[in-house]
Chain A
Amino acid sequence: MSDQEVQTDILKIEDLHVSVGGKPILKGVNLEIRRGETHALMGPNGSGKSTLGMAIMGHPGYEVTQGAVWINDENILEMGPDERARRGLFMAFQRPVAIPGVRLADFLRHATTNVRRPERREGEELLPMREFRKELREKMAQLRMDPEFARRYVNEGFSGGEMKRAEILQMAMLRPKFAILDETDSGLDVDAVRLASQSIAEIGRSKMGILIITHHDKLLENNVPDKTHVMLGGRIVETGGPELARELHANGYDRIRADHPEAAAEEEAMRQDGALQKAM
């Protein structure tokens, strides 16, 4: 693929409104990511960051009520999650679910085949075993993972760090055009975050458009964002450069709330609604 083509790929989120269980969470999100760019998405808990990721990936529990998500000239909202993956979309989950009895290597061979050969039909041959194994072993070495790890059942009994590393490994194998990393740093110790951060940079640099959802700036050390977005009350209220991520990390969200009182009020309403639901 030539550099020019790489630059033409674009993920465009247009006026996206999303409800979960009938409750509006996202209230008109606009965002444009070009392949090769790194964007950071920050914001307090419950502001809708993960919801954005889930809706873009196509989780059936996240209902899009308005808006569109484009990869180049295709609106991917019409597609199932599998088709979106085959169009080059990837999401590293915050808490990936366990699939008992399914070995990571077997799953990944199937997934890699489907994503790299989007025209493959069910039941057709998978990638040749030797070729796949060789590449998997190389990627695992790069991530400092024991090759034996690929024989374990997907996410079953994984530690927090193992889970996140397995997600990054999947990203490395699937080579997406666009990747959403949902708090890939949460639950990791300092060394693990550094390793994750370096790995993402190595794999992703200039090959992917990356949206990093994070609370911290550790992940951003090796992945300096071209743009930083701040989400509050279901909207992106501010966009800046890497300095904005540093500011939020150092000082928190008080200034944001003060500068955007309407969004702050929305956030407060959503929080009370959530607390009320928990009490019931």
Chain B
Amino acid sequence: MATDTKTDQFDIATAEINKYDFRNEEKYVFKARKGLDAEIVQQISDMKGEPDWMRQFRLKSLEIFNSKPMPRWGGKLDLDFQDIYYYIKPSDHQGRSWDEVPEDIKRTFDRLGIPEAEKKFLAGVKAQYESEVVYGSLREELASQGVIFTDTDTAVREYPELVREYFATVIPPSDNKFAALNSAVWSGGSFIYVPKGVKVDFPLQAYFRINAESMGQFERTLIVVDEGAQIHYVEGCTAPMYTTESLHSAVVEIVVKKHARCRYTTIQNWANNIYNLVTKRAVAYENATMEWIDGNLGSRLTMKYPAVYMLEPGARGEILSIAFASAGQHQDAGAKVVHCAPNTSSQIVSKSISKGGGRSSYRGLVRVESGAVKSRSKVVCDALILDAKSRSDTYPYIEIEEQDVAIGHEASVSRIGEEQLFYLMSRGLTEAEASTMIVGGFIEPLVKELPMEYAVELNKLIELQMEGSVG
């Protein structure tokens, strides 16, 4: 596909997708009608053959959703909840062929070096990512250690007691309107249980799982890391995700027990028409550590603030977040740490980049409850603005109800310096190459925390975002 300007490539790609008839009814096993009401919610529950407690939970959540007003802060939400499909059960293949996938998307996949099987999965050609062969032995190893790793639908059927014990305990449906929505219509997502003392020593990726519903619009992830256990979970991927629907609203709940450790890494790159409204929260018990690494690219509006509640002494929370807002995009991202016990510590590092009229906002909360003495928190947020059209804002909220604490906050906003550009250009780099290099350097401290292949993909993705940004 020939495009006149590179900057619009994602817009054009999205428009192209809409042009194709990907919603071929016959190819789906089941598809609920548009709109949201008790009947639809019942239907979803029926389709999944869920136990009654989950059906009741969904219906109750729908009531809460209906009773809650839209958030009045953050970004501009222009959503018609009745004009959305809430449940589509995919068949083995989703009714589009590889030939139908727009050239721009294929090109992006190639540039990212995505393997063939994965490309088809990402483009919606295949419903299942053929992971069995590659990851079969790893799956066996996990199972022998007692680690449960499955999609959440299956978990509700096969591990009902375990799921019920923790489900919606970290993020109740009443938490916010979109958590309520997800609770009513959720589908897919990961369920992970790591037994006491088990240390999984390689990053666990969503691809290990075979169910396609992981990439649904309303995925629901629940991770329980039992005492002394350890896990690094990597969700999603850096390739652009294309869906025909405009709303993605996930819930991720994590429980990190005494002396346990959990790291959750996501890099998401959404198409430009998507509202990405996600609630992510972890609770950390005595001397437990929770780390969120969260990268956000693309989407029309992202509102996402991974949170750590430190419930017992010695708990630690760390959040690293990267946001890249290009033309027509608003990244309202940040972090939330709540110190509920003595000697808890937290760190938030946020880096945002705005370009081509994009807007990125840091929104963060540091809260220290009374009694949480000797708590320490450090917040660093840096924004880089690439041109005069783009915008960056910072909304730091600090609520402290205890005297004996150490809280630090540093914020900086910078523009790509003329001196830096000149210096790199005087060594033969073009203006675009120089800008890309400066942006790459800006996020380097976070990129080096990523697993190798993700770091490489993220860098390539930023190069793609930067292409055509100058001149």
Kindly report which residue of chain B lies nearest to residue A87, judged by CB atoms: B428
A101 touches B442 (CB 8 A): yes
Is A147's beta carbon under 8 Å from chain B?
no
A90 to B425, CA, bound (A): 11
B108: min CB distance to chain A, Å:
13
Complex interface bits, A54-71 against B, C-beta within 8 A gives 1, otherwise 0: 000111110000000000
> What are the residues of chain A within 8 A of B424 when measuring CB–CB?
99, 107, 111
B80-121 with Cβ < 8 A to chain A? none
B426 touches A81 (CB 8 A): yes
Kindly report which residue of chain B lies nearest to residue A106, judged by CB atoms: B437
B441 touches A59 (CB 8 A): no
* Pick from A96, A100, A110: contact of B429, CB under 8 Å: A110
B395: min CB distance to chain A, Å:
25
B412-471 with Cβ < 8 A to chain A? 417-420, 422-434, 437-438, 440-445, 463, 467
Is A114's beta carbon under 8 Å from chain B?
yes
> What are the residues of chain B within 8 A of A223 when measuring CB–CB?
none
Kindly report which residue of chain A lies nearest to residue B434, judged by CB atoms: A82
> What are the residues of chain A within 8 A of B429 when measuring CB–CB?
82, 110-111, 114
> What are the residues of chain B within 8 A of A105 when measuring CB–CB?
none
Is A170's beta carbon under 8 Å from chain B?
yes
B441 touches A96 (CB 8 A): no
Given contact pairs A82-B430, A85-B427, A101 touches B422 in the complex (Cβ within 8 A): no
Given contact pairs A60-B418, A61-B418, A122-B433, A101 touches B427 in the complex (Cβ within 8 A): no
Is A149's beta carbon under 8 Å from chain B?
no
Given contact pairs A59-B422, A110-B433, A99 touches B428 in the complex (Cβ within 8 A): no
* Pick from A81, A100, A102, A153: contact of B425, CB under 8 Å: A81
A107 touches B437 (CB 8 A): yes
> What are the residues of chain A within 8 A of B427 when measuring CB–CB?
85, 107-108, 111, 114-115, 170, 174
A81: min CB distance to chain B, Å:
4
B180: min CB distance to chain A, Å:
40
B431 touches A82 (CB 8 A): yes
> What are the residues of chain A within 8 A of B430 when measuring CB–CB?
82, 114, 122
* Pick from A85, A96, A100, A106: contact of B442, CB under 8 Å: A100
* Pick from B428, B432, B441: contact of A100, CB under 8 Å: B441
* Pick from A86, A101, A122: contact of B440, CB under 8 Å: A101
- Which of A80, A90, A111 is most buried by chain B, counting CB atoms within 10 A of its CB? A111
Is A196's beta carbon under 8 Å from chain B?
no
> What are the residues of chain B within 8 A of A250 when measuring CB–CB?
none
Is A97's beta carbon under 8 Å from chain B?
yes
Kindly report which residue of chain A lies nearest to residue B468, judged by CB atoms: A122
Is A93's beta carbon under 8 Å from chain B?
yes
Is A91's beta carbon under 8 Å from chain B?
yes
A120 to B430, CA, bound (A): 11
B423 touches A93 (CB 8 A): yes
Given contact pairs A99-B437, A100-B442, A122-B433, A86 touches B428 in the complex (Cβ within 8 A): yes
* Pick from A86, A110, A111, A122: contact of B432, CB under 8 Å: A122
Given contacts A97-B419, A102-B440, A102-B444, 15 further A-B contacts (CB under 8 A): A58-B422, A59-B422, A81-B422, A85-B426, A100-B442, A101-B440, A101-B443, A102-B437, A102-B441, A106-B437, A110-B433, A115-B428, A122-B430, A123-B463, A174-B428
